[in-house]
Amino acid sequence: MFDVKKFATYSTPGPRYTSYPTANEFHTNFTQEEYLHFIKLSQSPLSLYIHLPFCRSACYFCGCNVIYTSKQDKKTRYIQYLKKELALLKETLDCNKPVVQLHFGGGTPTFMSAQELEEILQAIHETFPNFAADSENSCEIDPRFFEPQQMEVLKNGGINRLSFGIQDFNSSVQEAIHRIQPQELVAKAVQLARDYGISSINFDLIYGLPKQNLTSFQQTLEIVNSLNPDRLAIFNYAHVPWLKKSMRKINETELPSPEEKLYILQFSIQFLQEHGYNMIGMDHFAKATDELFLALKQGNLRRNFQGYTTKGGSQTIGIGVTSIGEGEQYYAQNYKEMIDYERAIDEGRLPLFKGISLTPEDRLRKAVIMQLMSNFHLCYADIYQEFKINFTEYFAKELQQLQHFEEAGLCVLNTDSLDITQEGTMLVRNIVMPFDTFLKSNSQERKFSKTI
């Protein structure tokens, strides 16, 4: 499929581009007044992201913003502050606009009890009463904390998609990352979801974990195929121990090399395609009947902090500690520390920590980067229609930087479009990096994970 040794030479620190500008560029000079102006100005339908940050113990690979606890009172207190934040949003935002997407992330959302989940869902629906008939409502599931009572509450609350954190089925890998969940446990959790009529199930897998190799991951994929998820997200492990202390517990000598990771990725693509899954974006796979694949075929796929989505054009409202929101002209992030989050709400203000107001240049480059990241194709006429610039003249320097990718067969520079080849999809992060004006060649090593 592709030359592994050649591809390994492209391994360099770079963003994942779940946003542009990336979260590293958010700053505390983004004011509450700016945020309120932007969220009131938007006429777009709503997408809600609710962060439930609690986990019982650390998974060493995890890069999420997590609070480790076993104390009930912390969860109870957090729910009360979520309700207070929702009340503030109701005073600020037109909450009667249609909601087209809801996502519970974490942390471990299913670390919340059935009663707690029901309380949160009820508060959300009371605040935002106008969910679209075809809204995509999803929840991240840890199979180790998933009971029938929780499933019933999620189903009754409108949840229609579940995403299971799997990572790897190999027992040695699970021990190395401190997350033990046998195949039988996952199978039981999946069957529970199917019994309640959940027709869209996603598995999250990670390649590049300690003690992982091509043979072990082949076995993981065989098990995955037997469980028949509808979607898969297969992420490249981002080892950033300078940012996440739990990653320091991983033995770096046990991490697979860039070449081994590429062999794993190469096999994964081939195996999944042979078993009815189509590659979506740079790290997602879906069956031919799935909305993601249909959106890709139509050129309508979009990318956000939750991955790839069919709900582009919505305004994301981040709710909860450390949540990120997004609008056409801004990004906004809530406080990361619970004490600051609670203090802001107690003072009667939204818990905005930092963000960024997008300049016209930011919006232009965001459109270019996100279109390539999502659909691997960019029509210059579309950019002209929206921004009134001649693409080849405006981005002459960037197109020149892409010539070596074209010579390597990774992209095609047409007179009217830029296309990323099937091989190039593996390196789409590298290919879009020339369009990123925030990147500085001497400052990326401690900011981003390796692209391979």
Q: Exposed, middle or buried: residue 251 (CB in 10 Å: 0-12, 13-18, 19+)?
A: exposed
Residue-level pLDDT at 302: 82
Q: What is the mean pLDDT of residues 18-27?
A: 93
Task: Write out pLDDT tens, residues 41-65.
Answer: 899 999 999 999 999 899 999 988 8
Indicate the helix (H) or strand (E) that contains 285.
strand 284-287
pLDDT in tens, 104-121: 999 999 999 999 999 999
Of 16, 21, 106, 92, the residue nearest 59 (C-alpha): 106
pLDDT tens column, 320-362: 999 999 999 999 999 999 999 999 999 999 999 999 999 999 9
**Is residue 370 over pLDDT 50?**
yes
Q: Which amino acid is at 193?
A: A
Closest to 51 in 3D by CA, of 154, 147, 140, 167: 140
Check whether 213 has a pLDDT greater than 50.
yes
DSSP per-residue codes, 179-223: ----HHHHHHHHHHHHHTT--EEEEEEEES-TT--HHHHHHHHHH
The pairing of strands 324-327 and 330-334 is antiparallel
Average pLDDT over all residues of the chain: 93
**Across residues 379-392, what is the average pLDDT?**
97
Q: What is the DSSP secondary structure assignment for residue 427, as one 8-state letter?
A: G
Q: Which tens digits make up the pLDDT trace of 131-143? A: 999 999 999 999 9
Provide the pLDDT for residue 448. Answer: 80
Least confident interval from 121-125, 423-427, 445-449? 445-449
Residue 202 has pLDDT above 50, yes or no: yes
User: Is residue 382 over pLDDT 90?
Assistant: yes
Contact 213, 173 (CB under 8 A): no
Whole-angstrom distance, CA of residue 452 vs CA of residue 449: 9
What pLDDT does residue 12 have?
A: 84
Its CATH class, for the domain covering 22-319, is: alpha beta
Res 70: pLDDT: 83
Taking residues 295-299, report their average pLDDT.
82
| Confidence band for 442, pLDDT divided at 50, 70 and 90 | very low
**Mean pLDDT of the 249-254 span:** 95
DSSP letter, residue 95: T
**pLDDT over 80 (residue 220):** yes
pLDDT of residue 305: 78
Query: What is the per-residue pLDDT across 151-190, written as a single tens digit (0 to 9) for each?
Result: 999 999 999 999 999 999 999 999 999 999 999 999 999 9
Q: Which residues lie below 8 Å from residue 81, measured CB to CB, with a gap of 6+? A: 341, 342, 345
Share of the chain above pLDDT 70, in %: 98
Q: Is the pLDDT of residue 446 over 60?
A: no
Rounded to an integer, the average pLDDT of 415-436 is: 93
The mean per-residue pLDDT over the stretch 247-265 comes to 92
How far CA 44 is from CA of 33, 88, 94, 217, 298, in Å, comes to: 20, 20, 11, 42, 21
Tokens 């210059």 belong to residue: 380
Q: What is the DSSP string of 378-402?
A: EEHHHHHHHH---HHHHTHHHHHHT
Dihedral (CA of 55, 57, 61, 63) sign: positive
Q: What is the pLDDT of residue 444?
A: 52
Res 1: pLDDT: 59
- Backbone phi and psi for residue 204, each to the nearest 5 degrees, phi listed first: -95, 125
| Tokens encoding 121 | 């869902």
**What is the reported pLDDT for 319?**
98
Q: Is the pLDDT of residue 264 over 70?
A: yes
Q: Give all strands (DSSP E) within 292-410, no chain letters.
A: 302-304, 307-309, 315-319, 324-327, 330-334, 352-357, 377-379
Task: Map out the domains of the chain as residue ranges.
Answer: 1-18+360-452, 22-319
Residue (of 444, 68, 52) closest to 246 by Cα position: 68
Tell me the CATH number of domain 1-18+360-452, given options 1.10.10.920, 3.80.10.10, 3.40.718.10, 3.40.50.300: 1.10.10.920
* Neighbour tally for 394: CB within 10 Å: 16
